[in-house]
Structure 1
């Protein structure tokens, strides 16, 4: 059973790394798109430019919130993995204590 728990903990750690990878890929793609859009910024004039600039501020804010959310998800998965490992260790220790107490009662 401990091997099952270890595998689940390992899977959590791997998943957290996968989320980090997705975050990096998404941020890279958003940065690429931002670069293309920045090249168009000089084409806007007057109120259209003001609207464009406002939109880009919202874009940047949304990109940051997405990155933060993905980072939080990965961090939470890692924390759950650590808690999972600690719970497994605590459970094993408790079973050993019960077994030792039972053995002494049975004079084993």
Structure 2
């Protein structure tokens, strides 16, 4: 009788442990999915910002007049703005965002 009870406890423990592992795995996968979504949004925003900067440079009058020095100076102005991807650095946060 004691052996049967011990066997049932062992089986219950194995099932409970397996369920716990499955729950932890699901939680970890959910966290990875959320991180991937956030990273994708950030990369998409960065690419949009870079595209907008290139469109500004492409439509500048400096190109039409052949003023390469003026074009160069305008491109320097666009590159001096803060880059949001710096938010990935440890210990740094993006401007205008609250620290997490």
1:68 and 2:16 correspond: no
Higher relative contact order (CA 8 A, sep 6+): 1
Displacement of 1:82 = 0.5
Which protein is bigger by CA-based radius of gyration?
2
1:86 and 2:86 correspond: no
Displacement of 1:61 = 0.8
Which structure: greater helix fraction? 1
Runs of 4+ in 1 over 4 A off after TM superposition: none
1:106 and 2:55 correspond: no
- 50 and 60 in structure 1: CA distance in 2 versus 1, 3 angstrom threshold: same
Count of residues paired in the alignment: 63
CA RMSD of aligned residues (A): 1.4
| Structure 2, unaligned runs of 5 or more | 66-100
| Structure 1, unaligned runs of 5 or more | 1-44
TM-score computed with the length of structure 2 as normaliser: 0.57
TM-score computed with the length of structure 1 as normaliser: 0.53
